[in-house]
Structure 1
Amino acid sequence: MDFLSFTGFARRLRTPLLAVPMAAIISGCATLDSFSSTDTRKDNPRTLASLSEPSNQQACYDREKEPYTPLVDAHFHPRPFGGPPIKAEKLHAMLEAQGVRFVNYFGIGQILELDSGCSYYLDCPGVTAVPSIKNDFANGLETVHYPSDNLHITLSMTFMDLAHPDDIADMIELYDREFPGMFSWSGELNVMKQALLKNNHEPATIESINQWGPFMAVLRERGIPVTFHSDLGNDANPTEFLPLMKHILETYPDNKIVWAHMGLSKELGNMDPARHVDILSGLLDTYPHLMLDVSWDVLYNEYHQWGDIYVPFLNEYSTRILPGTDFVAAGYKADDQYGKELEVTSRVLRALDDEAFRNIALGANYFRLMNLDYHAPNVCSADTNS
């Protein structure tokens, strides 16, 4: 039974898809146990070095035997909002064990006040989240001190205060001096993040977006992608903040822009999925440099009943999608937490067609976007033995 047939079957049984385990939806007749944390399918033989070989010289990717989790985590936070992180060596081992070979190191651009004693912003309403370079510098230093032969780390600048952009271009020059050639991404940058409003987050405005020209020019000239967190809206008004993203795209159409989480959030749980896909399709068709990331387990915990609409959308626009977990590496988290979040955010990948799986999960989109000299393996055909 294929994915769409299964969703139709669930409807005929008058069973809300929200009540059907996502694992069962994705795999047809699979049970939830087959996707449990005890079966992460992390026996990935693909090394970083092997991915430098041309696609036709690599063994084809057998989706029946190899992991459905991606080779790329393009949205990952190695440090928390506050408090100690997972130690670098442990973090690298954790990523490698799960088969991840490429990872974007997003700092937390708005960290909690250092004397607050808080690790997670939602636990500390009223504690200010302050735009800062601290996370980025720590990530840069740790990447130098703890190199990995089997993990490609992309460092990202996340210090930008988008509501007050005057000194951003000057600060990039500081990064150039302190970490020459090391930072090749920007973001995750918060345009509008409703969840941070209780922590005195100041959203960007149309007026402040108009002032981004100098630093967006630097990113554009260097081919540096920028990931924006910009909530689409909320339950009261699903598209309340869409004008912000539209204005960004209209003003900076030649920048490589990634819209994090497809604009979704916990504050938006009842939007019509067809309307959402229509908005995304229109923007992707209009702005060829726009990409989306499907990171964050919220997308699957809140919206997995929409699979019969979103899977065809992801297949159709598969060259414009990046995978990611949005994992935040706080030191207090259990050793298996990353694997669990990777599994949840990867479930939709198992439902994709082979071309989309190669583009998204096997890294073809990421390598092209970053102009990296790596190559996604070809997916095995039905009659291929290797």
Structure 2
Amino acid sequence: MRNEDVKGEFTPTPYSPAATDNQASTQSPKGKVPMRVSCDGHVHPAGYHQKGPSLLKMIQMANENNVKYFVAMRIATNVISLQSDRRYIDLASSCGETYYLEPSMFNNDETLNREKILEMKKKVELYVNSEADWVQAAEYNKLTDDQKERIDLAITGLHLGDPRAHFSLLQKIADNDVPFSLVGEVTLAKEIVMHLLPNESQAHLKSHIKPFCTLVEMVGLTGMPMTLHCDIDTAITEGIRAGHPANLNGMMKLLGDGQVEDTTIIWAHFGGINRFGPVPEKHYDNLDSMLHRFPNLMIDLSWSRIASKLDPDKVAAVINNHPERFIMGSDALAPHDAQVLRQTYAIYDAPDGLFKKLSEDVLQKILVTNYERVIRGGREHCKKFKQHILPGMADLLLDPAADNLRPKELRRWMLAEYEAKDPDYFLQLSKEITNRDLARKDAKEYVNEKGDLLSGSSEGVQSPVSTASQLNRQLSSLDIPNRTATASLDSRSHRQHRQNPHQEQVQHARPGMPQEPRASSSGRGQPRSKGRNWRP
């Protein structure tokens, strides 16, 4: 397929819910498609064997489905066979509907048990492929400008348990001459997958979570959102109490952690529903409460297997409470034709489906507007980060001895850099930071300690700030949780931030200006910045 064979500029085709597949593939003025104009916030052009349609083919299928923009999330987890038996080599390279299990290992209800998991662990294993992002970036750079505009590239090849994963993130942004929009889909907990990865080095909700939190914090500094796959419950139900999802408390702690709260988290699959077993009891109420509690949380509606399990009326009730917090996605894995890309949409657009329960205004938000604000917005934020911030960090990224970027100090330096180099963007960013912190403050009035809704209202709207020092003073005055990084989620403190009247006021870094030593906890001084470059 050649570039000239695929139209890059998006031209909507008339929508008709009664359009057939044959009509849907007709790109004539009279042709109609069974999809409204939408954006796909969750699609995987390549699967676990690094094969799939080209980005050109993905654009062609997007055109056939009225998809304006889509996120290209290349799967960065490879599967390899541990057996010499040819069947398992084939299994490891196909990765179809049965994942890494033979079809005979599934029951009719597609449940899992420990015996199945142990059997598969002897046959295949998974590993993180960090090269996936460079491969996709190279393919992206071969497209025309119009074609590039249709795609939002995601960074996926990150080892979540690596203490230097946040360095890898910045290096990928710096080294690839492409605009990134999002990080993910990254996986903390996923049924079979987590059993086939080396458990000792992986990040988990209950252990080894610190490197992941540091990575999430750095993603927030770039301005990009992160799409997270974290099953709310285990796929192996033996020994689990009904109505008590195994990962609910862990997700609550993660989302409430000080390192995570400034990063937009898009929780995949309607808040972690997995393909095995039913939707957990009270999941709709729990998700509604979490959206009230955590202003940085968003939800994607991806995966046809999940869409078919959900109660349209209950989903609509949650969406109507939080219409700005949901994004549509297909979760198509290496799709071979346009029909595969619209499977999830078709379930929601059925005569008694979710879309019929929503107003046109709300539907427009989850199909297009929220995507453009969060994912397209992440693309613009990351461009500014790469333009104004990364050049000042170049020496640090090449320093093999550097192991801590001190994100909170980096945040202050970044604000000063943006103010000096791009005042208009700084003003936009300051508004977003102020609104986010006010939303976090308001959220505490809506949720009690058990997650039930409380009545409350905002204490007023604060005016936008115009300088880095004003912004940091305003954030210091807000009654919000302390942002000090913690050693573990369980040690997270909910004490309120109190400004010490005797504490020496921190000076903000300015390019080319010497900085006074900052008093450390041990009493030793430490320079905040050295000239224009960032040094922690």
Same structural fold, with TM-score higher than 0.5 when normalized by the shorter chain = yes
Number of the residue aligned with 1:253: 261
The 3 A distance-change label for structure 1 pair 87 and 184 is: closer
CA distance in 1, matches of 2:57, 2:204: 36
Which residue, 103, 107, 110 being the options, matches 2:70?
103
Residue 358 of structure 1 deviates from its aligned partner by 1.5
Which residue, 6, 30, 45 being the options, matches 1:78?
45
CA distance in 2, matches of 1:260, 1:69: 22
Does the Cα contact within 8 Å between 1:44 and 1:99 map onto a contact in 2? Answer: no
Does the Cα contact within 8 Å between 1:112 and 1:128 map onto a contact in 2? Answer: yes
Residue 350 of structure 1 deviates from its aligned partner by 4.2
The 3 A distance-change label for structure 1 pair 71 and 231 is: same
Residue 41 of structure 1 deviates from its aligned partner by 9.3
Residue 292 of structure 1 deviates from its aligned partner by 0.2
CA distance in 1, matches of 2:325, 2:373: 11
Number of the residue aligned with 1:156: 154
Number of the residue aligned with 1:290: 297
CA distance in 2, matches of 1:142, 1:358: 31
CA distance in 1, matches of 2:56, 2:339: 15
Number of the residue aligned with 1:137: 134
Residue 335 of structure 1 deviates from its aligned partner by 5.8
Is 2:293 the partner of 1:326?
no
Number of the residue aligned with 1:20: none
Residue 289 of structure 1 deviates from its aligned partner by 1.1
Does the Cα contact within 8 Å between 1:232 and 1:241 map onto a contact in 2? Answer: yes
Residue 234 of structure 1 deviates from its aligned partner by 4.1
Residue 182 of structure 1 deviates from its aligned partner by 2.1
Q: CA-to-partner distance for each residue in 1:92-123, whole Å, 9 max, x for gaps? A: 21112211111111121212239945131434
Number of the residue aligned with 1:215: 215
The 3 A distance-change label for structure 1 pair 354 and 43 is: farther
Does the Cα contact within 8 Å between 2:330 and 2:342 map onto a contact in 1? Answer: no
Number of the residue aligned with 1:10: none
Identity %: 20
Number of the residue aligned with 1:315: 320
Number of the residue aligned with 2:346: 343
The 5 Å alignment of 1:1-386 reads 34=18, 37=21, 40=24, 68-82=35-49, 84-113=51-80, 116-117=89-90, 118-120=93-95, 121-123=99-101, 125=120, 126-147=123-144, 149=146, 151-162=149-160, 164-180=161-177, 182-200=179-197, 202=199, 204-234=204-234, 236=237, 237=240, 239-251=245-257, 252-262=260-270, 263-272=272-281, 275-303=282-310, 306-329=311-334, 333-334=336-337, 336-344=339-347, 346-347=349-350, 348-361=354-367, 363-369=368-374, 370-371=376-377
Q: Give the gaps of 5 or more residues in structure 1.
A: 1-32, 46-64, 374-386
CA distance in 1, matches of 2:217, 2:357: 38
Residue 282 of structure 1 deviates from its aligned partner by 1.0
Q: CA-to-partner distance for each residue in 1:244-269, whole Å, 9 max, x for gaps? A: 32122011111110100021011231
Does the Cα contact within 8 Å between 1:193 and 1:229 map onto a contact in 2? Answer: yes
Amino acid at match of 2:302: S
The 3 A distance-change label for structure 1 pair 96 and 335 is: closer
CA distance in 2, matches of 1:243, 1:319: 24
Amino acid at match of 2:49: G
Does the Cα contact within 8 Å between 1:74 and 1:324 map onto a contact in 2? Answer: yes
* SS at structure 1 position matched to 2:159: coil
The 3 A distance-change label for structure 1 pair 210 and 295 is: same
CA distance in 1, matches of 2:287, 2:295: 12
| Larger RCO of the pair (alpha carbons < 8 Å, separation 6+) | 1
Does the Cα contact within 8 Å between 2:166 and 2:215 map onto a contact in 1? Answer: yes
Amino acid at match of 1:110: T
Number of the residue aligned with 1:18: none
Does the Cα contact within 8 Å between 2:62 and 2:338 map onto a contact in 1? Answer: no
The 3 A distance-change label for structure 1 pair 41 and 231 is: same
Does the Cα contact within 8 Å between 1:233 and 1:241 map onto a contact in 2? Answer: yes
Residue 227 of structure 1 deviates from its aligned partner by 0.7
Amino acid at match of 2:301: V
CA distance in 2, matches of 1:67, 1:335: 11
CA distance in 2, matches of 1:307, 1:187: 27
Q: CA-to-partner distance for each residue in 1:295-331, whole Å, 9 max, x for gaps? A: 000122223xx1222222222211100000001115x
> Which segment is superposed worse, 203-212 or 182-191?
203-212
**Which TM-score applies when normalising by structure 2?**
0.53
Does the Cα contact within 8 Å between 2:227 and 2:267 map onto a contact in 1? Answer: yes
Does the Cα contact within 8 Å between 1:43 and 1:66 map onto a contact in 2? Answer: no
Does the Cα contact within 8 Å between 1:296 and 1:345 map onto a contact in 2? Answer: no
Does the Cα contact within 8 Å between 1:296 and 1:327 map onto a contact in 2? Answer: yes
Greater CA radius of gyration, 1 or 2?
2
Residue 42 of structure 1 deviates from its aligned partner by 8.4
The 3 A distance-change label for structure 1 pair 136 and 75 is: same
Number of residue pairs matched? Answer: 314
Number of the residue aligned with 1:6: none
* SS at structure 2 position matched to 1:324: coil
> Which segment is superposed worse, 79-88 or 336-345?
336-345
The 3 A distance-change label for structure 1 pair 87 and 221 is: closer
CA distance in 2, matches of 1:66, 1:34: 8
Does the Cα contact within 8 Å between 1:42 and 1:67 map onto a contact in 2? Answer: no
CA distance in 1, matches of 2:323, 2:159: 31
CA distance in 2, matches of 1:318, 1:168: 33
The 3 A distance-change label for structure 1 pair 340 and 294 is: closer
The 3 A distance-change label for structure 1 pair 80 and 346 is: farther
Does the Cα contact within 8 Å between 1:44 and 1:98 map onto a contact in 2? Answer: no
**Which TM-score applies when normalising by structure 1?**
0.73
Does the Cα contact within 8 Å between 2:273 and 2:279 map onto a contact in 1? Answer: no
CA distance in 1, matches of 2:184, 2:218: 14
Does the Cα contact within 8 Å between 1:234 and 1:269 map onto a contact in 2? Answer: no
Does the Cα contact within 8 Å between 1:266 and 1:298 map onto a contact in 2? Answer: yes
Q: CA-to-partner distance for each residue in 1:127-178, whole Å, 9 max, x for gaps? A: 212112232222111111123625521111112222x131212212321332
